[in-house]
Amino acid sequence: MRALLAAVLVALAGCAGGAAPAPAADAVHPAVQDALPSVVSVQVGEGRHSGTGFRVGIDGIVVTSAQAVSEAGDGAEISVVLVDGTRRAATVLGRSTEVDIAAIRLDGPQIPAMHSRSGFAQARPGDRVLAVRAPPHDAAPATLLAKDRRAALAGGTEQSVIALDSDLGPGASGAPVVNAEGDVLGVVTSAAAPGAGRPGDRAFAIPVDVARQAVFAIVGRA
């Protein structure tokens, strides 16, 4: 992940004027190999991508956004697709719509877990971060604008969220937002109400501590 951020920042430095575009997937593909085995495409229904998810430190548990599984009930069977194209069976354990977090149980062999460590505590506005998406199996760069922006989510609840300056593109809901060391800072949410946040806010993520508490509660009820 450190190599990935370095590659992205070099690309950004070479752009003159205006907002720097996200690099093409093939431009960073060699550098994202370490992160992508933990990241999956969440698919509900007829093989339709509905969001991104990633394995956390609890055995067999993948975290995504509640929006990504909005068309599947708790206990429903869905599928996830790994970076190598392998399709795996999974089950929706539950969700917390208040914070737009859902937990999925992945059947079969484990995939690597991602960790947060002290990344969120050390993060500061202005830090360059990455949202690791699947598909298109790449990383979208962004600048962290705030760690505690108050924003209304679609469910009507106001939450403290991470604010980012870049549109992360389709399919990013549920993706992990990471720092240069690969520490997870948050989970991308697409549930923010129109006009949420402040001018310049282009995307939001649920802070990792909030997401962790929601996942523990979901797993505890399952």
Structure letter (DSSP) for residue 209: H
For residue 148, which amino acid is it?
A: D
Alpha-carbon span 49 to 171, nearest angstrom: 7
**What is the pLDDT at residue 155?**
67
| Domains of the chain, CATH where assigned | 2-30+114-212 (2.40.10.10), 39-113 (2.40.10.10)
Place of tokens 């310049």: 200
Tokens standing for 30?
């060699």
Do the Cβ atoms of 216 and 209 come closer than 8 Å?
A: no
Alpha-carbon span 14 to 16, nearest angstrom: 6
Helix (H, G, I), strand (E, B) or coil at 139: strand
Do the Cβ atoms of 213 and 169 come closer than 8 Å?
A: no
Q: What is the pLDDT along the chain (222 residues), one digit of tens a residue?
A: 444 333 333 332 333 333 333 334 334 433 356 678 999 999 998 878 999 999 999 999 999 999 999 999 999 999 999 989 999 999 999 999 999 999 999 988 999 999 888 889 999 999 999 999 988 778 889 999 999 999 888 767 788 999 999 999 878 999 999 988 888 999 999 888 777 888 999 999 999 999 999 999 999 997
pTM (predicted TM-score) = 0.84
